[in-house]
Amino acid sequence: MICHNYSFEWRHLAQNPFFMHATIGKEEGWKTLSFQRREAKLNRAIFHILALKGSQTRWDVHKGVKAQKGLKHTKYTNVLRRIRALEESGYLEKVGTRKIKTQPSSQTNLYQLTPRAHLAILLNQINLDSFTQKASQHTIITTLAALISYTTNQLQAQT
C-alpha cells in the first residue's frame, strides 16, 4: 500500500466537528468546488472517512457513509459514482489492492485522499479575513509565493 509522507497529521482535521457539519458562509470559510454542489454532503462524508481511517475500499467507504447522520439511506451505486467522480477530479487516488473477505481469490482497490483533497478540506475551513489578519508574515509570504507561482503557471499555459 502506498501512503504519502505528509508532515501534517490530516486525521485531526477529520475529527474537527466543523469538518462534517460546516455551514460554510462568507464569514466562516472558503467553499471549494468539491463542497459547493449538491454532492457536497456526500463528498464531505467520503473525505471525512478517508481522512480518519486512511485508505479504504469502496465498500468500506459506503459503510462509513451510511453511518453518518443524514446519509443512512445512501445507495452503494451513489457512493461508487462519487468515488469515481472524485478520482477523475484528482481528489482521490487508488493506492493498492486488498483481498475481498468473502471472495479470497478476488481483489478490490484501496482509495485515499490526494493532496488536492487535503487542500480542499483546509480551504473549506479557513476564514480568509482572519487568515490575512492573524497569520505571521512568513506564512503570508509563503502563501503569496505559492499563489503567485500558480497564477503565473496558469497565465503561461493560456498563451
pLDDT tens digits, one per residue of 48-89: 999 999 999 999 999 999 999 889 999 999 999 999 999 999
What pLDDT does residue 127 have?
A: 84
**Segment of 79-88, 96-105, 129-138 carrying the highest mean pLDDT:** 79-88
Quick one: fold of 11-126? Arc Repressor Mutant, subunit A (1.10.10)
Q: Cα dist. 42→9, 68, 87 in Å?
A: 23, 10, 14
Query: With bands split at pLDDT 50, 70 and 90, how would you rate the model's confidence at 15?
Result: low
Domain chopping of the chain, boundaries: 11-126, 127-159
What pLDDT does residue 100 have?
A: 86
